[in-house]
Amino acid sequence: MKYYIKTYGCQMNQRDSESAGVMLEAHGYIETKIEEEADVLIFNTCSVREQAERKAIGKIGILKRLKKKRPDIFIGVMGCMAQNKGAELLKTLPHLDFVIGTDKLHELPEIINAEKKERYKDVRLETDYDVLTSMSGHHVNAKQSVSAYIAIMRGCNRFCSYCIVPFVRGREKSRKISDIVDEAKKLVEDGIKEVYLLGQNVAGFGLDGASPSMTRKESPFAELLYELNKIEGLYRIRWISPHPAYFNDALIDAIIDCDKVCKSVHLPLQSGSNEILKRMNRPYTAEDYLSIVKKLKSKCKEITFSTDIIVGFPGETDDDFLATCAIMDEVKFDNAYLFKYSPREKTKAAEYADQLSQEIKEERHSILLKKLGKSATSNNLSCVGNTYDVLVEGASKRNSKRWTGRADGNQVVVFEPKDKVEVGDIVQIKIKESSSMTLFGAMQ
């Protein structure tokens, strides 16, 4: 039998889809990229933004025609939208066969096999720690990709007032450090040079349920970084996404001490206003955030920063917005994911009465985009004349004569390759030109 998986949303969903595919293949299934050929069609969905839900429901709705032509096929939904809407999806999309929540990934082959035998509608949404055992399967092709994602934990306990993740991903559940290290070693044996550690709150890894504290002495996440740093043949370690409230000195020291940990930190700000951070239920202040940045910069001048920011949060005044602008001006981010606030069901912020107009959100979003463009352009311009170690990713999509890779600081570097350069090599590139998004250089 052939299976087809369509993934919506973040890297965590991509990782879950890959794990699901590996599990199905272990039960004799073969992947197809053509949905009309598939015997089992699975849609791994996202609920973080409403648009993602609408796209998934629209796509699955179209498959009603295929189901009429081939009533023997199985159509299922997994992921955040499945967890959020549950059995309601079977009413909205009656041609669905099964709905499985985010903690039931490991039961996917069992569900499909049961469907084949008895042909009944199945909905499974219960919390299950056994899901941690299903997160290590990979499809590795080192000739095409130098990087792989490793999911180190699931869920989030933070309940930020704008975020639906705790409702659809459940409580924080961390894997064992030894299991993660074994997975990374296997990936290196298969040719992977770089790993991305994934979790809704990676800085809180191993502290499942513990309250945030920047004064905490220990950091299980730092311990994990030290262990991964020992792996021979692993070149680089990156991660997404941490919570500033767990960024203590132990973690900061690990970032600096571990030579394989990239000196590129994604540190979500969300807002520069202490009042808005409080309304967001983000347990840190703007001053706390800047303290983390300053500590890292004092220990490593070359470190780069990216962030997440929400504009137009309910009650955001002009002064609140200016506070966010001030932090953007001070930190000078290399990249940022800028979101216009949109209410999500079940979240506290959706109930706030002081919602802002779309016009204000658009205006403020545009201002931040310009600031980001200015800082990114300036940061990249400062790289001209420098030489960087670049992990080669392969031919550029825009010009096959040029190749592309990334520097430690996560800058995209484009260059013309010399003889014998291969995907996964680390080469030295001297930067000749730059744009807001890319560095251009020559091999040394």
Rounded distance, CA 60 to CA 99, Å?
12
Round to whole Å and give the CA distance between 103 and 166.
Answer: 12
Residue-level pLDDT at 334: 97
∠ CA 185-191-197 to the nearest 5 degrees?
A: 55
Q: What pLDDT sits at residue 364?
A: 98
- Coil, helix or strand at residue 63: coil
pLDDT of amino acid 180: 98
Determine the pLDDT at residue 146. Answer: 95
Q: Is 387-443 in CATH node 2.40.50.140?
A: yes
Look at residue 64 in the predicted model and tell me its pLDDT: 95
Asked if residues 211 and 167 have their Cβ atoms less than 8 Å apart, the reply is no
At residue 96, the pLDDT reads 96
Tell me the residue length of the chain.
444
Is 2-129's fold the same as 131-377's? no
Torsional class of 360: left (φ above 0), alpha (ψ -120 to 50), beta (otherwise): alpha
Distances (CA, A) of 216 to 201, 220, 221: 16, 11, 12
Say whether 262 sits in a helix, a strand or coil.
coil
- Map residue 241 onto helix, strand or coil: coil
CB atoms within 10 A of CB 209: 9
Measure the CA–CA gap between 57 and 72, rounded to whole angstroms: 21
CB atoms within 10 A of CB 130: 11
Six-digit token string for 386? 């420098």
Closest CA to 367 of 329, 334, 341, 330: 329
Cα dihedral across residues 329, 335, 339, 340: positive or negative: positive
**Token pair in block for residue 191:** 């040719």
| Neighbour count for residue 141 (Cβ, 10 Å) | 11
Angle, in degrees to the nearest 10, between helices 249-257 and 220-229: 10
- Least Cα distance to 5 among 58, 53, 29, 41 occurs for 41
Question: Comparing C-alpha atoms, which of 221, 228, 206, 276 is closest to residue 253?
Answer: 221
Q: Which residue reads 């030290």 in tokens?
A: 226
147-151/194-198 β-pairing: parallel
Token output for 70: 């081939």
Per-residue pLDDT of the chain in tens (444 residues, 90 and over written 9): 999 999 998 899 999 999 999 999 999 999 999 999 999 999 999 988 778 888 999 999 999 999 999 999 999 999 999 999 999 999 999 999 999 999 999 999 999 998 888 888 999 999 998 999 889 999 998 778 899 999 999 999 999 999 999 999 999 999 999 999 999 999 999 999 999 999 999 999 999 888 899 999 999 999 999 999 999 999 999 999 999 999 999 999 999 999 999 999 999 999 999 999 999 999 999 999 999 999 999 999 999 999 999 999 999 999 999 999 999 999 999 999 999 999 998 999 999 999 999 999 999 999 999 999 999 999 999 999 999 999 999 999 888 889 999 999 999 999 999 888 999 999 999 999 999 999 999 999
Degrees, nearest 5: CA angle 410-206-9: 50
Phi, psi of 25 (to 5 degrees): -65, -30
Instruction: Provide the pLDDT for residue 66.
Output: 95
For strand 426-434 and strand 438-443, is the pairing parallel, antiparallel, or unpaired?
Answer: antiparallel
Q: Which listed CATH number (2.40.40.20, 3.40.1710.10, 3.40.50.12160, 3.30.930.10) goes with 2-129? A: 3.40.50.12160
Q: What is the rounded CA–CA span in Å between residue 414 and residue 398?
A: 10
Q: Give yes or no for a contact between 425 and 389, defined as CB atoms under 8 angstroms apart.
A: no
DSSP state of 402: S
Secondary structure (DSSP) of 159-206? --TT--HHHHH-S-EEPPHHHHHHHHHHHHHTT--EEEEE-TTGGGTT
Distance of alpha carbon 228 from alpha carbon 225, whole angstroms: 5
For the chain, how are helix, strand and coil distributed in percent, rounded to 5? 40, 20, 40
What count of Cα atoms within 13 Å lies in the side-chain half-sphere of residue 186? 13
Q: What are phi and psi of 113, to 5 degrees?
A: -65, -35
For the chain, which residues make up each domain, given as ranges?
2-129, 131-377, 387-443
Q: Across the strands, what pairs with 255?
A: none
pLDDT on residue 48: 81
Q: Which fold has domain 131-377?
A: pyruvate-formate lyase- activating enzyme (3.80.30)
Distances (CA, A) of 102 to 55, 60, 79, 85, 183: 19, 19, 5, 12, 21
Give whole-number Cα distances, 337 to 306, 310, 334, in Å: 8, 9, 11
